[in-house]
Amino acid sequence: MTEEEPLERLQKALSRAGVASRRVSEGMIEAGRVTINRRVATVGDRVSVTDRIELDGIPVIRDPDLVHYLLNKPGGGVSTSKEPQNRRTVVDLVSSNERIFPVGRLDADSEGLIILTNDGELTHRLTHPSFGVSKEYLVHVEGVPSRSSLRLLREGVELEDGCTAPANVAMPQDGVMRITIHEGRNRQVRRMCAAIGHPVQRLVRVRIGSIKDPSLRVGTARRLSVEEVRSLYEATTNS
């Protein structure tokens, strides 16, 4: 930190970031929940724009240029920022002044929730296997899986790139499963279902971490709230 950088009180910085009011922020500081550059903060501390603030070990987003969107991807959309074949991409469906990128992938023929952002740290946390953020899918398959097939999905399925980690699986109705995984292999859910003899007919991602929004219309996007972004960081911290 240089003397030329403008400083502001820590509780004001927290308030401006949408974390809490100044009074509540002050209580968080007094409780030892806030750090500045990995050091436990105290009431009266001042920070610059380059200081890293964390609350309960989770980064406080202060850069106004960082944006986070939740898109309900339709079938046929490509989960890339550039498409040499000029097909529609998920970026085309989001109106943003910033250059944004999809976090992870959804197959072109898959639907559902995907996050787009220019937040590099969050992107890394959500896509790196070591963090293991959960993702839930509503999966329509051919036929009706047996109890033994469901058990196989829950315990792990042998694929060409190794056995999958245990998954949470429920079948709310015949031929429709809710599958929650913590891995991010290419076309993993489709390959898991094919491996038990029940190919996917339709696949919809309905949750990423704690983020879900059944009211978000297909093909539309919205900004994530401060609380939602924080919950995504928290999911990577607690994984």
The set of catalytic residues is 107
| Closest to 105 (Cα-Cα) out of 71, 142, 67, 154 | 71
**Long-range contacts, 45-53 (Cβ 8 Å, 24+):** 45/9, 45/10, 46/7, 46/8, 46/9, 46/10, 47/7, 47/8, 47/10, 47/13, 48/1, 48/5, 48/6, 48/7, 49/5, 49/6, 50/1, 50/5, 51/1, 53/10, 53/13, 53/14, 53/17
Phi/psi at 139 (5° precision): -125, 120
Task: Return all residues near 228 (Cβ < 8 A) that are at least 6 apart.
Answer: 68, 70, 210, 211
Distance CA 126, CA 239 (A): 11
Phi/psi at 3 (5° precision): -65, -20
